[in-house]
Chains A and B, each alone.
Chain A
Amino acid sequence: MKELIEYIALSLVDDATQVQVKQEKIGNKVRLELKVAREDMGRVIGKSGKVATAMRVLLRVAAAREGKQANLEIAEPR
């Protein structure tokens, strides 16, 4: 799951060095947090969140394959 989000984020951003994905497991729930450079936020969110939504849809499939539920948050860069 983490690899999927990492792959997509790395492919879409301009600044690959700022891409960070954290994965936290609580039971069968998995929480992913994606951080990218401020200038790249638009690239991983998209118009009206279209990119973020598409990433979540694909993540759901990846999670279902492992019998899990996953949740993706895109965090504001500091």
Chain B
Amino acid sequence: MTEEKSTLEIIAPTVEEAVERGLDQLGLPRDAVDVEILDTGSRGVFGLGGRQARVRLTFGFSKTEAAEMRRDVEEELFATGAPPKTALTLDEEDRSLKLTTMVVRDLLERMKVRAKVSASYLQPADPKEAPTVMVDIQGNDLSILIGRRSETINALQYITNLIVGKELGRWVPVLIDVQGYRTRRERQLRAMAHRLAEQVVQTGRPQVLEPMPANERRTIHLELRDHPLVKTESVGEDPNRKVTILLKK
């Protein structure tokens, strides 16, 4: 087996900067790594006594794959002198959309799930990031496609990402949503984060959340990143990794 799980720890003034630096070093897109926030850092008072943010990036590619991807990205960047987004022609964008739609349709058909599939491009706020393909699945009774703790939708998204990446020869992040589930869930998670943070502040006791997949844990970490009184940590191993909300010292 050439597969390897590698990690990289980065320290920077803010979590966002740390993640960005790490991705720059690796030459990988955001979606290719799992981001774990080890320390959100703090600004301190008047710039005094602040702690730096610490993140750990886990990237799940074999070394050769990572090297290949880095080379691809570099080639795109240096060959055109422009970020990858603008390096894509309309034809290429069109092709990735069609291909992604087709892959998801093929998978669903073979899973005996009848649904409507459409895809669109989501331009990232940061032009340095690659544009994401958003896939929308609509139909009746699709709870089977979400699964316990989003297990099925995440598996479908993961496999689709691999197939599309392999087919196009470059990494194109694909995000799959079923009946607006992800958007709803994210709103729910944010509200829950604040509710539980409030409880932690009132009782002084840490709150341990139910186990969640990485993307959901990230939503909680980000939501409470700037909270003045509490901090968040992830504890345990996947698939039982849980977010804990606790008082800042």
Contact = CB atoms under 8 A, between A and B. Distances in A.
Interface stretch (B22-30, B87-95, B110-118, B225-233): B110-118
Contact of B152 (A45, A57, A65): A57
Interface string A24-58: 00000000000000000110011110110111011
A12 B163 contact: yes
A51 B201 CA distance: 41
A19 interface: no
Contact of B4 (A8, A12, A47): A47
Contacts of B166: 11-12
A48 B154 CA distance: 16
Interface residues of A, number: 24
Interface string B102-134: 010011001111000000000000000000000
What is the interface of chain A mostly: helix, strand, loop, or mixed?
Answer: helix
Q: Is the interface of B mostly helix, strand, loop or mixed?
A: helix
Contact of B163 (A3, A8, A45, A66): A8
A54 B159 contact: yes
Interface of B: 1-5, 60-62, 103, 106-107, 110-113, 144-145, 147, 151-152, 154-156, 158-159, 162-163, 166-167
Interface of A: 3-4, 7-8, 11-12, 41-42, 45-48, 50-51, 53-55, 57-58, 61-62, 64-66
